[in-house]
Amino acid sequence: MWAWLHRLGSPKRFYGWSGALARWSGWLSLLLGAAGLYYSLFDSPPDYQQGESVRVMYVHVPAAWLSMFIYMSIAAASLVSLVWRIKVADMVAAASAPIGAWFTFLALATGSLWGKPMWGTWWIWDARLTSELILLFLYLGYIGLLAAIEERDTAARAAAVLALVGVVNIPIIHYSVEWWSTLHQGATVTKFDKPSIDLDMLRPLLLMALSATLFYVTVVMRLARCELLERERDSQWVRALVDERQGGESAR
């Protein structure tokens, strides 16, 4: 099992399978996203309290879910990199950070856009909103730390430690709506008993969330591959790849 993992994590192997993964998840994301968009805009009912403004949720909830999912991926990759010294894990973690920051921003911005008509305010220092804002700062801190340290491996290790410490914020975000009396509504999907959301609303929500997750997989794999090529530029297999590309171009 470990030997197998190490083989998958070897730069050359990783370059091979990550390309296929990026392609497939990209197409699947597009497909699910198209279906999700159709359901969220055309084929789902208005909420009995929120009216049509509920459609903001089909952007907001997937973005918020992805903001936490990407952070957990960074933390998991950081752990792998610290414990097993698999270089590829560093690259995946580093490549995830900008994507995570963008989706955290999207979750906050769409939350504001929904909060204005529904709560009557763009922003409130509520536990859920504040902890999500802290998540954005964690992403920015992580990106800044990576950029600030010149030596690559030191930077990766320092950023990995920061990412792992920051994990404490994730359960805080998730449970904030239970632990404190917040303005933000409670969970309706991730509950142990049956979700308390109508199926017609759950459908676009899940489609959009799945599409967003696959979108992340595509983008992170493509970014990590670039980093990998750059770091491995002197290795035999990258040189062979470059020759192949150049040969293809001169033949054209």
Residues that bind other proteins (CB under 8 A): 41, 46, 51-53, 55-56, 59-60, 63, 98-99, 102-103, 105-106, 109-110, 113-114, 116-117, 215, 219, 222-223, 225-227, 229-230, 233, 238-239, 242-243, 245-246
Which C-beta is closer to other proteins: that of 114 or that of 172? 114
Which C-beta is closer to other proteins: that of 31 or that of 242? 242
Maximum pairwise Cα distance, the chain? 67
The least distance separating other proteins from the CB of residue 86, rounded to whole angstroms, comes to 21
Which C-beta is closer to other proteins: that of 7 or that of 233? 233
Cα–Cα distance list, 193 to 127, 129, 178, 197, 206 (Å): 24, 26, 16, 12, 17
The least distance separating other proteins from the CB of residue 208, rounded to whole angstroms, comes to 9
Q: Which two tokens stand for residue 137?
A: 């700062």
The least distance separating other proteins from the CB of residue 201, rounded to whole angstroms, comes to 15
The least distance separating other proteins from the CB of residue 249, rounded to whole angstroms, comes to 9
Which C-beta is closer to other proteins: that of 172 or that of 238? 238
Residue 50 has phi, psi (to 5 degrees) of -90, -10
Which C-beta is closer to other proteins: that of 59 or that of 75? 59
> What single-letter DSSP state applies at residue 54?
G
Which C-beta is closer to other proteins: that of 60 or that of 128? 60
The least distance separating other proteins from the CB of residue 224, rounded to whole angstroms, comes to 9
Taking the alpha carbons at both ends of the chain, their separation in whole angstroms is 44
Those residues with Cβ within 8 angstroms of residue 201's Cβ, 6 or more apart along the chain or in another chain:
44, 45, 47, 54, 57
Instruction: Return the SS3 of 226.
Output: helix
Cα–Cα distance list, 172 to 115, 128, 159, 187, 208 (Å): 21, 8, 21, 14, 24
Nearest to 14 by CA among 78, 70, 89, 95: 89
The least distance separating other proteins from the CB of residue 106, rounded to whole angstroms, comes to 5
